[in-house]
Structure 1
Amino acid sequence: MDVKFLALLLVPCIAAAKPLNILFLCADDWRHDTLGCAGNPVVKTPHLDTLAKEGTRFTHACVTTSICGVSRASLLTGQWMSRHGNRGFDAFTTPWGKTWPGILREAGWWSGHVGKWHCGKFEPSRFDFARLTGGNHFQKDGSGGRIHVTDLNERDALAFLRDRPKNKPFCLAVNFPAPHAEDNNPDQYLPQPEFASLYEEVTIPAPAGANGFSRLPPVVGNEANEGRRRWHLRFDTPEKYQRSMKNYYRLVTGVDAACGKILAELTAQGLEGETLVVFTTDNGYFLGERGLADKWYPYEESIRVPLIVRDPRLPANRRGETNDALVLNVDLAPTLLAAAGQAIPETMQGRDFSSLYLNEPAPAWRKDFYYEHAVIRSADFIPASEALVSREWKYILWPDSGFEELFNLRNDPGETKNLISTQTTTLPTIRERFEVLKREAR
C-alpha cells in the first residue's frame, strides 16, 4: 500500500482523539487505610473500592505537609509549602496561571470548583463554575431548609457535569469538606440522616498504639497540645471513641456514596473512556493512635493518604493493581497536566507519576522526601516539625526544641522505638540527606 495513502487513512483517527477530561475528587482528613480495599474491616466504601479495581491504588502516597490549607495549595501548585508560601490557611504566592486548573482553563478546558477551598480568599472568577462550601456539616439549601454538605457537593458536581458545554473538555475538582470534624460542635461528626444507623451493631476495634502518648516528644506529648485536646473531645472514653468513630465512618461512607453518583453520571454520559479520575485526600488522620486526634505531625497515620487513579490509557490487564511508590501530593498537578497534554511549568516541584502505572517496567522513582510543617498559633498549640521520610527510615526534627527522632519503618512500622541515640553510624548520613532535601524544597 502507498505510504502517503496510509498516512491519509490515519489522519482522521488522530484528529478524532479527544483530550482527556479531569475529575479530581478530594476528601478531607482521611488517611490511607480508611477504605475497604485497603483492608479496613469495618468502613464501607464500595464505590471507591470499585474505582480501585478499575484503576491503580497507590499504597504509600503521602503529603508533604499534613494540614488542610497547605496541602491543598500543594495539590494546586505542585509545590512544597516553602515554595508556594501558604503556611496555614493563607493565599499561596504562586501565580494562578501556574496552577493546574489555571493552566487547563487557559488551554480551553471548562473548569469547575466544588466544595472546600482553605487557601485564602476564594476567587470564583478563576473558574467557569464555582460552588464554595464551608466546613459545617449542615448548610442552608437556598430555600430556607438545610442540606448536608456532602449532598450539596454531590448536587453541585452533578450540575457541573450536566450543564457544561459539550464541545469542550472539562476539569472538575470536587473538594469534600467531609469527613473533617465540625470543630466547634460538641458532637464533632454529623453524618447524613440516611447513614445514621450504619455501623450501629459494630464495635470499632481500639486504635493500635493508643497508649503511645507517653512516648511522644515533650513538645507534642503534653495536655496543652491541640491534638491532645481534640483527643479528649472525641476519644478519651470507650463510649466517646465508639460514637465518634461510627459517625466518622458514616461521613466517609457518605462521601463514597456521593463519589459513586458522580462516577455514575460520567458513565451515563459515556465519558469513562475520556476522563482521568483521581481520588485522594488532603492529609492523613489520627483516630486515637498515640493518644492524639487530627493530623499535623510526621507520623504515618498523619502523612499517608489514599490515592486511586483511574486512567483510560491503562491497559485492561493492569487494572486493579496496587503500587507502593512514594507518590506525593505535589505530584498530582504535573500528572493531571501531562494527562491533558499540557506542558508542566518549571515552577512545579512534583513529577508526573503516570509512568509508574502505564510503563513496563516502571522507571526509577524517588526513594525519600522532605516533610515540613510550620508552627500554628504557637509551639504549645501545634509545633513545627520537619522530617526525612523513606520506606526504611524516618528522621524527625522538632525545630522548636531541637528534639530528634529516628525510626526504622521496616522493623518498627508503628514508630515506637526512637533509635536516635543508637544509630550512630547511620544518623550522620540521614541528617546530611535531610539537609539536601530541605534545600531542594525551598
Structure 2
Amino acid sequence: MKIKVGTRNGGMPVAFNAVLLSLTCFAGVASQAASGKPNIIYLMADDQNYGSVGCYGNPDVITPNMDKLGAEGMVFDRHYNTTSICMASRATVMTGMYEYKTGTNFDHGDMKPEIWQKSYPVLLREAGYFTAFAGKFGFKVDGRNQGLCPEDFDLWGGGPGQTFYETIKNKSMAKYAEEYPHSTLSYGAFGRDAIREAVKQQKPFCLSISFKAAHRPVTPDPRFDDVYAGKKMTKPANFGREAGEHMSVQSKQGRQYPRFEGWDYDKDYDGVMAKYYQQVYAIDVAIGMIRDELAAQGVADNTVIIYTSDNGFICGAHGYASKVLPMEEAARSPLLIYDPRCPTAGKKLRSPALTGNIDFAPTILELAGLPVPENMDGVSLLPLLKNPAADVREQMAFINAWGRVPTQCLTVLTKELKYTYWWYGDAKMKPVEELYHLTKDPLEMNNLANNPEAEPMLKAMRVKYDAELAQWNQQAVEHNNYRQYGTLFDRSVPWEQKKYTGRVNNGLQ
C-alpha cells in the first residue's frame, strides 16, 4: 500500500509529521508509566447545583459527559463546599484548609504568599508535574500582579475577578476567541492544548480549569440554544415561599431571599432554568473535548478526572435564590471522580460519605505520591474510590462569614444531621437554632430544634458545633477579621455582648 505524502506550508511531509506525532505521544506515555505518576485533571464549575446533573436524578437535564464520568468513576452524594461563595471556596480548594485558615474571602482580605506556597499547584510543580490553569482564579495573593500567579504554572489561561463570558475579553484566552467566542468551550480547547504540551514534554500533568459557567449574568452559549428550547422543568418539592416559612428570620435578611422574585423563579421558572441548564450543558461539551484529547494522546488510562463546582445554587428552593446560606441546595454540589486505574472503575458506584472541598488538595497530593502537609484540614478521598461504603470523617463545618451580618453563621454537618446556630439578634429577631435530619428529611422541611423528641440529637449536635468553634478559635489566622467569630458564633455568649467589627455587606458577588 502506498502512502500519499504531502506537505504543509513547505514544511515536513504530512506522513512524516504523523509518524513523529505518534512517536512523541508514545514517548510521553512511556515516560509517565515509568514515573508511576498519574495525570490529574481538576474541573470546577461555578454555581452549579447538584441537581443539574442527570446522574443525580434530574430527568430534565442533558449531561451525557458528566453522567459518563460518574458511571465510569464514582458519584459522591454528600459533597459539600465548606464555604458557599466563589472566593473563599476557591482558596479552600487550592489549600485544603477552612476559610478561617486561608484568611481569604470578599470583604475580609486576600491570601498571604506563605499560604499560597503550600497550595496543591505549587507543590505539584515543585515535584516535577507540568501544571496548567485556566479560567476564574477567584482570589488574590498579596504581592502578585493583580493578585494572580501565572508564574507558578507552566501554562496559564487564568484571569482576575469574575472573568468574562466573551473569550476575547479574557486576555490569556484571546487566541481561542475566533473559534470559540463563548468562554466555556475555549476552556475545553485550552485543556486539549495543555494535554498535548505535557505529552510533548514527557511529563505527568495537573490541569486545573475553573469555568465561569453557570455564574450570572446569565449568558449561555447561543450555539446550544436549541437544547432546552420550550422545555417544561420540574420544580423541586421544596420550591417556593411556603416551603421556607419555617426557616430562620436571619436567613431572610440577605440577598438570597429577594432574588427568588428578582430573578424570576416565581414568574418564569421554566425559562430561568432552561438558560441555567444550557450553561451547564456547554461545560458538559467541554468535558467531552478534554476526554477526547486524552484518548487521542494515549494517556486516558493514566489520567484521574475530578469534576465539581465551587458551590451550589438554590434555584428557588424554600423561596430563595443564589448561594451562601447553609441550606442543601447552596452548600452541596456535584462531585464525580474517575480513576481508570482503580478496581472499582466502571461499576457505576456511589459514595454516601461526607466529603468537602477541603479534601481536594489532599486527594490530588496523594494521587501524585506527595505527602499531605499538616496544615491541611481535608483528607484524601482515595480510600472511598476503593471502598464506596467507607467513611473519611464523622463531621465537618460549613461557614458563612460573608454577606449581610444576620446571615453569617456556623453550621456543623454529619452524614445524617445538620445543625446551624444563627447567632445574630436585634429588636426584630433572636438567636435561633436549626436542626435537620437529612437522611429522613433531605429537603429540609422540618426543623427539629424545638421538637422535644429530638432533644438528644440537638444536644449531641451542639457538642459537635462547639468542637468546630473550638478548632476555629485555636487555628484562625490573626488577620482579616476572623478572630472575632470565636465570640460571635459562641452559643454561651448573649448576643447583646457581641460586636461585629467587619463591613456590613450589601454586595453582589
Shift of 1:14: 12
Equivalent residues in 2 for 1:306-345 (5 A)? 306-315=334-343, 319-345=347-373
Change (3 A) 1:363 1:43: closer
1:95 aligns with 2:115: yes
Q: Tell me which residue corresponds to 1:85.
A: 103
Shift of 1:13: 12
Q: Tell me which residue corresponds to 1:372.
A: 399
- The 2-side partners of 1:236 and 1:161 are apart by 40
Q: Tell me which residue corresponds to 2:138.
A: 118
Q: Tell me which residue corresponds to 1:139.
A: 167
Whether contact under 8 Å (2:411, 2:465) holds in the other structure is yes
Shift of 1:409: 1.9
Shift of 1:437: 2.4
- The 1-side partners of 2:298 and 2:36 are apart by 13
Whether contact under 8 Å (2:48, 2:214) holds in the other structure is yes
1:168 aligns with 2:188: no
Q: Tell me which residue corresponds to 1:8.
A: none
Whether contact under 8 Å (1:85, 1:92) holds in the other structure is yes
Change (3 A) 1:364 1:257: closer
Shift of 1:318: 5.6
AA paired with 2:393? R
Shift of 1:362: 5.8
- The 1-side partners of 2:462 and 2:363 are apart by 30
Equivalent residues in 2 for 1:157-306 (5 A)? 157-164=191-198, 165-182=200-217, 189-209=218-238, 210-211=240-241, 212-222=243-253, 225-239=254-268, 241-306=269-334
Q: Deviations over 1:100-136 (max 9, x none)?
A: 1110001111111100111122121111111124443
**Which stretch shows the higher mean deviation, 210-219 or 277-286?**
210-219
Structure 2: unaligned runs, 5 residues or longer: 1-29, 141-146, 426-430, 476-509
Shift of 1:197: 1.7
Shift of 1:17: 4.8
Q: Tell me which residue corresponds to 2:448.
A: 419
**Which stretch shows the higher mean deviation, 420-429 or 55-64?**
420-429
Whether contact under 8 Å (1:78, 1:333) holds in the other structure is yes
Using the size of structure 2 for normalisation, the TM-score is 0.77
Shift of 1:151: 2.1
- The 2-side partners of 1:345 and 1:207 are apart by 41
Whether contact under 8 Å (2:353, 2:391) holds in the other structure is no
1:388 aligns with 2:412: yes
Name the larger-Rg structure. Answer: 2
- The 2-side partners of 1:199 and 1:335 are apart by 36
Q: Per the alignment, in what secondary structure is the counterpart of residue 283 of structure 2?
A: helix
Change (3 A) 1:109 1:56: same
Identity %, equivalent residues: 31
Whether contact under 8 Å (1:313, 1:358) holds in the other structure is no
1:431 aligns with 2:462: yes
Q: Per the alignment, in what secondary structure is the counterpart of residue 256 of structure 1?
A: helix
Q: Per the alignment, in what secondary structure is the counterpart of residue 130 of structure 1?
A: strand
Whether contact under 8 Å (1:78, 1:332) holds in the other structure is yes
- The 1-side partners of 2:262 and 2:333 are apart by 24
AA paired with 2:91? A
AA paired with 1:52? G
Using the size of structure 1 for normalisation, the TM-score is 0.89
Q: Tell me which residue corresponds to 1:5.
A: none
Q: Tell me which residue corresponds to 2:75.
A: 57
How many equivalent residue pairs? 418
AA paired with 1:248? Y
Q: Per the alignment, in what secondary structure is the counterpart of residue 227 of structure 2?
A: coil
Q: Per the alignment, in what secondary structure is the counterpart of residue 308 of structure 1?
A: strand
AA paired with 2:418? K
1:440 aligns with 2:471: yes
Whether contact under 8 Å (1:73, 1:86) holds in the other structure is yes
Q: Which has the higher contact order (CA 8 A, sep 6+)?
A: 1
AA paired with 1:349? D
Whether contact under 8 Å (2:434, 2:449) holds in the other structure is yes
Whether contact under 8 Å (1:214, 1:221) holds in the other structure is no
Whether contact under 8 Å (1:64, 1:371) holds in the other structure is yes
